Structure formats: C-alpha cells, structure tokens
C-alpha cells in the first residue's frame, strides 16, 4: 500500500459520525446543517440538455473537453472577471468538479518533500492532496484577528522558499472570508520571488450578497496587473454551488497555459475525461446567469431570517460570501454533540476542519453551519439553536 495513506486523518464527516455515536437525539425532525451540499432545485434547462445528449454516451470523450465547452467557460470568465485575453484552447480545462481537480493538481505539480501551504481551517482535500503527492503541508492560521483570512505574514521565509504550491480559498470554506486585490497582489509577488504556483479555489465565488460587488478573482487581479499569461496562477470553479448541480460533477481549471499543458498530460493518464452529455449540460449552465441570481436571492433570504433569530444568543455574523455561518461557541465539539442530542440538529465542529498549528487549532471554538436546507428548515433550526443557547 502507498505509505502516504497512513498520514491521512479520518475525513471530517467520519469524525462527526464518531462524535454522534451512541447519542440519542431529541424526538424532533432531524435538520442537517453540516454538509455543504446545495439543496436548491437544479435548473430544469440543464437537466433537459443532459437528457437531450444522452446518445453521446456511445463516444469516448477527450480529456481536454469539447471546444464549445471551453469557449463557454472562457466567455463566462471574460464576462464575470473582465478577462480580455483568456484563451479557451490553452488556458481552460474542464474537470469533474473542483474536488477531483484540486486533489489531482497537487499530484501533477508537487515534487516529493516540497512544502504545500494552505489556510487553516481548510477544505480537507488540500491536505490529502499534499500528503499523497509526497509533500509537506504547512498550515496558515485564519482567525478573527485577521478577519478570518490566512495570516500570510506569519509564514517563515524558509516555508516560502520550500513552497511549490499554495492553496487559497476565496470565498473561504468554512469562514466565508474574501481575499481582496491587495492580498492577491501580495501573493503574486511572493510567488514570483519564491517560484511557487497559486491554486485558487473559487468555487463559492458566485454566492455573495451584493449584486453590485461580486468577489474579485485571482485571474482578475492578474489581468489588472497586465499579467495576461496568468503565470504561476490557476483557478478552480464549479457548477456545484453556483448552479445547484453537485451531482453533475462539473467544473473547470483556468490559468497559466504552461501549467495546464502539464496538468492535461497528467489527466490524460489519470483517466478523468468528462462525459459528453455532462459537457453539453455544462455549456447551458455557464451560459445562463438568471438562475444564479435567483440562487443568490434564496440564500440572502435564509441568511436574513436565520441571523435575525440568532441575534443576541450566538456570537455569529453574516459572512462576506458563501453559504456558511461560522459561529464562535466555545467548545465546538461539545456544542455539536449537545445540539444534536437536545435538538436533533447536526453541525460540524470547526476543529474537524483545522489542524494544530503555532500552538492552536483555530477551528476549535467554532462550528460550521451550512444554510443549504429549505428556508423553513433553516428558520426552524435557528429557533431550536436559540432555545438551546438560552438554556442554563
């Protein structure tokens, strides 16, 4: 067996199952706020496009994807991030969801023993990808003191020197924090100085609150700096959150053409081409914004209702983006256990999404709540949490 497998920790939801084991929950309908799985209705026109192209299952798809899909993605990038020069042929690569691509990317770009830097707390794929590539994870704490952005100033120079890959997540999972243009420009300067690749996980980029102020992206900052080759930069986007299509397993990677050329070579052997019906359905999704605006409106409604109910009883604020709440609760594991036992609500302890670094686990005092259930369920959950928090 691959010896690197022994370095992997149990996945957060495995830890959560163990935490809840042998607990008998209250006799109330269960409400799951633990998993970031969108529950809004998927666009009907995407389903129809998928069905319309089912006969294409008779053909092997190319790993690079069909030209119309790459063109649709490039057109979306130009419109969404004002990228005048993105090339559909060399700077866009379809992938089977960001989870698969974020993992595979490290296998392609990381050499054994190299440092892989990542936020802490973080999406667990980053750590697993680094370890199974033979790399060494270096965790950058995200705390209230830094607005839940990674404390890049705390990273020792030697860690930057040894770094080959930096994962960032903006909007952040689990905190919803955004990196701004100045943050991203600073990272570009560090990448040039120390010669590493930036992998920007932007799969929550379309879940924001102000329609006039969408989050900025890494390639957008590159473009503003005249860095149109997107050197050392790749971004990851998905239809899962944007379009409520987690089961479609469709996303893309875009950026530095030289890096993507090597990543395509890796993926050709990896055997992960996107099925043709999925590609055609994805084209339809990337070409429509109306359903995405409707999706944001649904989340705004849920955040407003839930935060009004929780006001004064829980230390929590609306995030800058995403569909998560990141309340400070003291002992996150104890809070999650008792909330499940007393109210039959499942939330995810923040400690399960973080690692001990610089003497602390920055997720220990928090829990993650995903507002993915129906509006009615979210309101009911908030009322139960308020009742739970008011108990002596």
For the chain, what is the domain count?
2
Question: Would you list the DSSP string of 104-135?
Answer: HHHHHHPPTT-EEEEEES--THHHHHHHHTT-
As a whole number, mean pLDDT of residues 312-335 equals 97
Residues 6+ apart with CB under 8 A from 146: none
Condensed to tens digits (0 to 9), the pLDDT of residues 72-85 reads 999 999 999 999 98
Residues with Cβ within 8 Å of 156's Cβ and at least 6 positions away in sequence, in order, are none
Whether 282 and 322 map to the same domain: the answer is no
**Model confidence pLDDT, tens digit, residues 82-116:** 999 899 999 999 999 999 999 999 999 999 999 99
- For 199-211, what is each residue's pLDDT tens digit? 999 999 999 999 9
SS3 352: helix
* Residue-level pLDDT at 9: 95
- Which CATH number characterizes residue 227's domain? 3.40.640.10
Do 89 and 187 fall into the same domain? Answer: yes
Q: Does one domain contain both 34 and 85? A: no
What per-residue confidence (pLDDT) applies to 85? 86
**Token couple for 270:** 């990896």
pLDDT on residue 142 = 98
One domain, residues 212 and 267 = yes
Q: What would the pLDDT profile of 257-268 be if each residue is shown by its tens digit?
A: 999 999 999 999
Q: Looking at residues 144-156, what average pLDDT do you find?
A: 97
Question: Quick check: 384 and 28 in contact, CB under 8 A?
Answer: yes
The answer on 169 and 37 residing in a single domain is no
- Nearest-angstrom CA–CA distance, 266 and 193: 27
* 269 within a domain of the structure (yes/no): yes
In the listed set 248, 269, 288, which residue is the last one of a domain according to the structure?
Answer: 288
| Per-residue pLDDT tens digits for 209-243 | 999 999 999 999 999 999 999 999 999 999 999 99
My answer on whether 147 and 22 are in the same domain is no
Q: Residue 381 belongs to a domain with what CATH number?
A: 3.90.1150.10
Spatial neighbors of 259 by CB under 8 A, at least 6 apart, are: 109, 197, 232, 234
Looking at the structure, do residues 230 and 328 belong to the same domain, yes or no? no
What is the per-residue pLDDT for 216? 98
- With respect to residue 277, please indicate whether it lies within any of the assigned structural domains: yes
**Per-residue tokens: 252:** 């893309």
In this predicted structure, the answer to whether residue 392 has a pLDDT above a threshold of 80 is no
Q: Does 136 share its domain with 272?
A: yes
- For residues 255 and 310, state if they share a domain: no
List b or e across 253-287, with b for residues whose CB sees 16 or more CB atoms inside 10 angstroms: bbbbbebbeebbeebeeeebbbbbbbbbbbbbbbe
Give pLDDT tens digits for 275-291.
Answer: 999 999 999 999 999 99
The per-residue pLDDT for 391 is 83
The per-residue pLDDT of the chain, averaged, comes to 97
Task: Using pLDDT thresholds of 50, 70 and 90, give the confidence band for residue 372.
Answer: very high
Same domain, 324 and 227: no
Report the C-alpha gap between 329 and 390 in whole angstroms: 13
Residue 321 DSSP code: B
> Which residues constitute the domain of residue 241?
55-288
CA-CA distances (angstroms) from residue 385 to 273, 301, 352? 44, 18, 21
Share of the chain above pLDDT 90, in %: 98
Choose one of 246, 267, 288: the last residue of a domain: 288
Q: Is residue 46 part of a domain?
A: no
In this prediction, residues 350-370 reach a mean pLDDT of: 97
Domain contains 343: yes
In 3-state terms, what secondary structure has residue 207? coil
- Residue 271: pLDDT band (50, 70, 90) is confident
Distance CA 122, CA 140 (A): 9
């Amino acid at each position: 067996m691959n010896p690197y497998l022994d370095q992997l920790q149990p996945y957060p939801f495995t830890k959560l199952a163990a935490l809840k084991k042998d607990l008998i929950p209250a006799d109330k309908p269960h409400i799951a706020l633990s998993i970031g799985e969108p529950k809004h209705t998927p666009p009907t026109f995407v389903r129809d496009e998928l069905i319309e192209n089912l006969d294409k299952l008779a053909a092997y798809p190319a790993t690079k994807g069909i030209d119309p899909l790459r063109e649709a993605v490039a057109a979306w990038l130009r419109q969404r991030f004002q990228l005048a020069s993105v090339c559909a042929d060399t700077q866009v690569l379809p992938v089977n969801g960001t989870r698969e691509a974020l993992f595979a990317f490290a296998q392609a770009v990381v050499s054994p023993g190299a440092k892989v830097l990542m936020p802490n707390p973080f999406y667990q794929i980053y750590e697993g990808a680094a370890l199974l590539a033979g790399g060494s994870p270096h965790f950058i704490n995200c705390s209230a003191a830094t607005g839940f952005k990674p404390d890049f100033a705390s990273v020792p120079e030697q860690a930057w020197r040894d770094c080959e890959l930096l994962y960032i997540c903006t909007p952040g999972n689990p905190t919803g924090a955004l990196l701004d243009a100045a943050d991203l420009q600073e990272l570009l300067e560090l990448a040039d100085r120390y010669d590493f690749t930036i992998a920007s996980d932007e799969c929550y980029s379309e879940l924001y609150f102000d329609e006039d102020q969408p989050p900025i992206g890494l390639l957008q900052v590159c473009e503003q700096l005249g860095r149109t080759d997107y050197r050392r930069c790749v971004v990851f986007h998905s239809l899962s959150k944007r379009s409520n299509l987690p089961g479609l397993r469709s996303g893309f990677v875009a950026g530095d053409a030289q890096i993507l050329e090597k990543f395509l070579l890796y993926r050709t052997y990896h055997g992960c081409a996107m099925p043709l019906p999925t590609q055609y359905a994805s084209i339809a999704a990337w070409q429509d914004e109306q359903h995405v605006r409707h999706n944001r409106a649904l989340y705004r409604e849920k955040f407003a209702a839930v935060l009004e109910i929780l006001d004064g009883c829980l230390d929590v604020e609306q995030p800058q983006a995403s569909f998560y709440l990141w309340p400070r609760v003291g002992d996150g594991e104890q809070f999650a256990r008792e909330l499940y036992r007393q109210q039959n609500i499942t939330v995810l302890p923040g400690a399960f999404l973080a690692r001990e670094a610089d003497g602390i686990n920055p997720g220990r005092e928090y829990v993650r709540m995903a507002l993915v259930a129906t509006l009615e369920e979210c309101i009911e959950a908030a009322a139960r949490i308020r009742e739970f928090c008011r108990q002596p």
